[in-house]
Amino acid sequence: MVFERSLLALLFVCANKAVTAQSSNFSLYAYGTDITPGIRLFFGDSLAYVGHSAPTFVKEAVNVTMSHITTDNQFLATPDGTLAGVTQPALYIDTTEGANNPVGFASTDDMPTGGNDTGFGLYGGWAYHLDNDGTIAMNFLASPTNETGIYLVKWKTSGATKASSEVAISLRTVSPVAETL
């Protein structure tokens, strides 16, 4: 138990150093069991999806490049195209106790109820959220859509249940390695 707490404290210190050192733009890729490794995160109707392409049911879908803003520990998204009605979108999660809700993009002044766009960081290329109690959490889920290989990204808080179809994923800045034939 003492070892685990010491390890968490060391991880927190290192994470803070990694966060402040991170200043370049990056993309996020999903890795997990039972999904294609390294599928890219993108914006679809203000929600976060991962997949080989955008789902056909969204009206507005673009790839986004993220940048980490250390003053509020936000992940700001720069779209690879224009977005209607969203200026300077930030990645957000619902931190309400017991929530298992979609991850989305919103401007700070248009944040939905329960939405939190602060506390994000990178540790060795792994995206995490620092909870109010100081706990580092990586509770991202991939929830299948009705289209093969495309998933809605969700955030599961403590006390929330995960559907059997949802897959725990890690979001990383590391793109997949191309296979050589």
**13 bridge partner residues:** none
- Please list, residue by residue across 124-137, b when 16 or more beta carbons sit within 10 angstroms of its beta carbon and e when fewer do: eebbbbbeeeeebb
Its CATH class, for the domain covering 2-172, is mainly beta
Single pTM value for the model: 0.84
From 62, 63, 75, 64, select the one nearest 23 (Cα to Cα). Answer: 75
Q: In the chain, how many H helices and how many E strands? A: 1, 15
From 111, 87, 100, 110, select the one nearest 152 (Cα to Cα). Answer: 100
Digitized pLDDT (tens) for each residue of the chain, 181 residues in all: 433 443 344 444 444 444 444 458 999 999 999 899 999 999 999 999 999 988 999 999 999 999 998 888 999 999 988 887 777 899 999 999 999 999 999 998 889 999 999 999 999 999 999 988 889 999 999 999 999 999 999 999 988 999 999 999 999 999 988 654 4
From 55, 50, 49, select the one nearest 39 (Cα to Cα). Answer: 50
Q: Does residue 12 sit in helix, strand or coil?
A: helix
Token pair of 99, please?
């929530």
Assess contact for 78 and 67: CB atoms under 8 A: yes
Give the list of residues 6+ apart from residue 6 with CB closer than 8 angstroms, or none: none
How many whole angstroms separate alpha carbon 111 and alpha carbon 120? 16
Q: Does residue 103 sit in helix, strand or coil?
A: coil
pLDDT value of residue 27: 96
From 179, 149, 116, select the one nearest 49 (Cα to Cα). Answer: 149
pLDDT value of residue 15: 45
How many whole angstroms separate alpha carbon 27 and alpha carbon 46? 17
From 58, 35, 63, 44, select the one nearest 168 (Cα to Cα). Answer: 35
pLDDT value of residue 177: 80
